[in-house]
C-alpha cells in the first residue's frame, strides 16, 4: 500500500478514554462495529468502553462476554472498563487480572443498572485499586442530592430544561469532585475525573494536584464549545447530557484549564442515543448524551485553525495525556502515542459540515448539527493498516485488539 501524504499532517491516533459502545444490551443505539467505525473515521485509534451496559461490566463473566463481542466487531483497539458496584469489591482484582483496563465509579447516575456505592465502599474500592495501581475514572456528581432535587422538581410539575439544570446544579459536581480528591489523597488511589463541566471545580482540582494527589481530569468538546444558549437553537431536550452543558461563562475557564494542564485529557463521553429517544416533550424522558468520537477531532482541529491551540497541544491532550494516565506503554520506555503505527493523517485545508446523517454512529443526534469545520482526519491507521479513508470506514471487523496496560 503506497500512501501519498503530501500536504497532510501526520499525528498519533487519538485515544478516547470515555466511550459508551452500548453492547451488550443496547444494540439499537450503537454496536461495537458502528462505534469503532465512527472512531476510525474520527481519527481515534483506541477507545475505552464504559461499563453501563446490560449486563453491566461488573463481574469477570460480564467482562469476558464483552471481550468476546468486541473481538468479533472492533476495527480500532479498545480497553474495557470494569464497574465498581457496592457488591463486587471482592471481584475487582480478578477483573483486573482478566484484562479490565480501568474501572469506573458512578457517583452520579439515575440508572438502576449502575447504582452509586456508599462512601465507605468508594473508599474501599480506592484502596483496592491503589494496591493494584489501576486508575479509577469517576462520574463525579452527588447522587443523593441529584435524586432528591429531581424528585422535588418532578413533583412540582417542572418539565423544562431549567429544571434539568437545577437538578444537576454544578455544586453537585463540585462537591463530588472534591470528595473524590479527598478519598484519593486518603487512599493513594490514582483517580480520573470524567467530563469536567464547571469552572467551579477547577480550584478544587488545582488544590488536589498541588497536594500531590494523582488526579487526572478530562473535559469534552461540548463543554468547551457550547453553552445553555445553544439550547434555543437545538431544542433543550436534544442537548440534554450529564453533567449538563452549563451557562455561558464556564467554557472560557475550562479552555484555560485545558491549556495550562489543570485539565489533562480531551475525551468525548460518546453516548449515542436515537434521535427519537432525545426528542420527547418532557426533558426527564429524554436520554442524556450524544455521539462524540467522530466529531471531536474535526471540531478541535477547527479551533487549531482559529489559533486557539497548537496542533502539538492538541496531540498532548488527545493522545499523550490519555496514554500516560492509563498506562499505555506497549513496550518498555515507549508511550503508546503513534506506537505500532496507530496514526492519523490530517488535512488542515479540508473543510466540511457536521450533520447527524453523516455520522457512522447509530446514535443519530448531535448538538453540533450544522457546525462548519476546518481541518479533518482523512486517513486512520491502526497497527499500520488503514481503517478509515476519506470519511469512510474500510477496516474489517475484528482487526481491533484489547490494549494492555502497564501497572507501575
Decide: is 176 part of the binding site for ligand NCD (CB under 6 A): no
Reading phi first (left if > 0) and then psi (alpha if -120 to 50, else beta), residue 99 is in left
What backbone torsions phi and psi does residue 108 show, to the nearest 5 degrees?
Answer: -145, 75
Decide: is 241 part of the binding site for ligand NCD (CB under 6 A): yes
End-to-end CA distance of the chain: 38
Distance CA 221, CA 13 (A): 17
CB 192 within 8 A of CB 17: yes
CB 106 within 8 A of CB 146: no
Q: 243: cis peptide before it, omega within 30°?
A: yes
* Cβ distance to Zn ion smaller for residue 221 or 395: 221
CB of 208 to Zn ion, least distance (A): 20
Decide: is 139 part of the binding site for ligand NCD (CB under 6 A): yes
Name the site residues for Zn ion (rule: CB under 5 A).
139, 269
Decide: is 21 part of the binding site for ligand NCD (CB under 6 A): no
Partner whose binding site includes residue 288, from Zn ion, ligand NCD, none (CB under 5 to 8 Å by kind)? ligand NCD
Q: Which three cell numbers stand for residue 140?
A: 463525579
CB 213 within 8 A of CB 243: no
Query: CA-CA distances (angstroms) from residue 242 to 290, 374, 398?
Result: 10, 28, 32
Decide: is 245 part of the binding site for ligand NCD (CB under 6 A): no
User: Site residues for ligand NCD, window 260-279 (CB under 6 A)?
Assistant: 269, 271
Nearest residue to Zn ion, using CB? 139
* Cβ distance to ligand NCD smaller for residue 272 or 338: 272
Decide: is 289 part of the binding site for ligand NCD (CB under 6 A): yes
* Cβ distance to Zn ion smaller for residue 12 or 82: 82
User: Site residues for ligand NCD, window 192-211 (CB under 6 A)?
Assistant: none
Burial of 209-231, coded b for 16+ CB within 10 Å and e otherwise, reads beeebbbbbbbbbbbbbbbbebb
CB of 139 to Zn ion, least distance (A): 4
CB of 372 to ligand NCD, least distance (A): 25
Answer for which of 11, 20, 58, 136 binds ligand NCD (CB under 6 A) is 20
Q: What would you report as the CA-atom Rg of the chain, rounded to the nearest whole angstrom?
A: 20
CB of 159 to Zn ion, least distance (A): 23
CB 13 within 8 A of CB 344: yes
**Chain centroid to CA 380: how far?**
20
CB of 42 to ligand NCD, least distance (A): 18
Decide: is 52 part of the binding site for ligand NCD (CB under 6 A): yes
CB of 314 to Zn ion, least distance (A): 22
CB of 386 to ligand NCD, least distance (A): 30
- Residues of the shown chain interacting with ligand NCD in the complex, contacts defined by CB under 6 A: 20, 52, 109, 139, 241-242, 269, 271, 288-289
Amino acid at each position: 500500500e503506497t500512501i501519498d501524504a503530501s500536504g497532510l499532517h501526520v499525528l498519533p491516533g487519538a485515544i478516547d478514554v470515555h466511550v459508551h459502545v452500548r453492547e451488550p444490551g443496547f444494540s439499537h443505539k450503537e454496536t461495537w462495529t458502528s462505534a469503532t467505525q465512527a472512531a476510525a473515521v474520527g481519527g481515534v485509534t483506541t477507545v475505552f468502553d464504559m461499563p453501563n451496559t446490560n449486563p453491566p461490566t461488573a463481574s469477570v463473566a460480564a467482562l469476558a462476554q464483552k471481550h468476546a463481542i468486541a473481538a468479533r466487531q472492533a476495527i480500532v483497539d479498545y480497553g474495557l472498563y470494569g464497574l465498581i458496584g457496592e457488591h463486587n469489591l471482592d471481584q475487582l482484582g480478578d477483573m483486573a487480572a482478566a484484562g479490565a483496563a480501568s474501572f469506573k465509579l458512578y457517583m452520579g447516575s439515575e440508572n438502576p443498572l449502575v447504582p452509586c456505592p456508599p462512601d465507605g465502599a468508594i473508599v474501599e474500592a480506592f484502596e483496592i485499586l491503589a494496591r493494584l495501581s489501576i486508575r479509577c475514572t469517576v462520574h463525579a456528581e452527588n447522587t443523593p442530592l441529584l435524586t432528591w432535587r429531581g424528585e422535588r422538581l418532578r413533583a412540582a410539575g417542572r418539565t423544562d430544561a431549567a429544571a434539568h439544570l437545577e437538578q444537576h446544579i454544578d455544586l453537585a459536581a463540585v462537591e463530588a469532585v472534591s470528595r473524590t480528591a479527598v478519598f484519593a489523597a486518603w487512599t493513594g488511589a490514582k483517580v480520573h475525573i470524567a467530563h469536567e463541566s464547571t469552572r467551579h471545580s477547577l480550584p478544587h482540582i488545582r488544590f488536589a494536584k498541588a497536594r500531590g494527589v494523582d488526579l487526572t481530569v478530562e473535559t469534552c468538546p461540548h463543554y468547551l464549545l457550547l453553552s445553555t444558549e445553544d439550547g434555543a437553537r437545538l431544542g433543550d431536550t436534544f442537548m440534554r447530557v450529564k453533567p449538563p452543558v452549563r451557562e455561558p461563562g464556564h467554557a472560557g475557564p475550562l479552555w484555560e484549564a485545558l491549556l495550562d494542564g489543570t485539565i489533562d485529557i480531551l475525551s468525548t463521553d460518546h453516548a449515542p442515543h436515537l434521535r427519537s429517544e432525545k426528542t420527547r416533550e418532557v426533558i426527564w424522558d429524554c436520554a442524556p448524551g450524544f455521539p462524540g468520537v467522530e466529531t471531536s477531532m474535526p471540531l478541535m482541529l477547527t479551533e487549531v485553525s482559529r489559533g486557539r491551540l497548537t496542533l502539538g497541544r492538541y496531540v498532548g491532550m488527545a493522545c499523550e495525556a490519555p496514554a500516560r494516565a492509563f498506562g499505555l506503554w506497549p513496550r518498555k520506555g515507549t508511550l503508546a502515542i503513534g506506537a505500532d503505527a496507530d496514526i492519523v493523517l490530517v488535512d488542515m485545508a479540508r473543510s466540511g459540515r457536521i450533520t447527524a446523517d453523516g455520522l457512522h454512529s447509530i446514535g443519530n443526534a448531535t448538538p453540533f448539527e450544522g457546525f462548519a469545520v476546518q481541518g479533518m482526519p482523512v486517513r486512520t491507521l491502526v497497527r499500520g493498516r488503514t481503517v478509515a479513508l476519506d470519511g469512510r470506514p474500510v477496516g474489517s471487523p475484528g482487526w481491533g485488539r484489547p490494549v494492555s496496560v502497564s501497572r507501575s
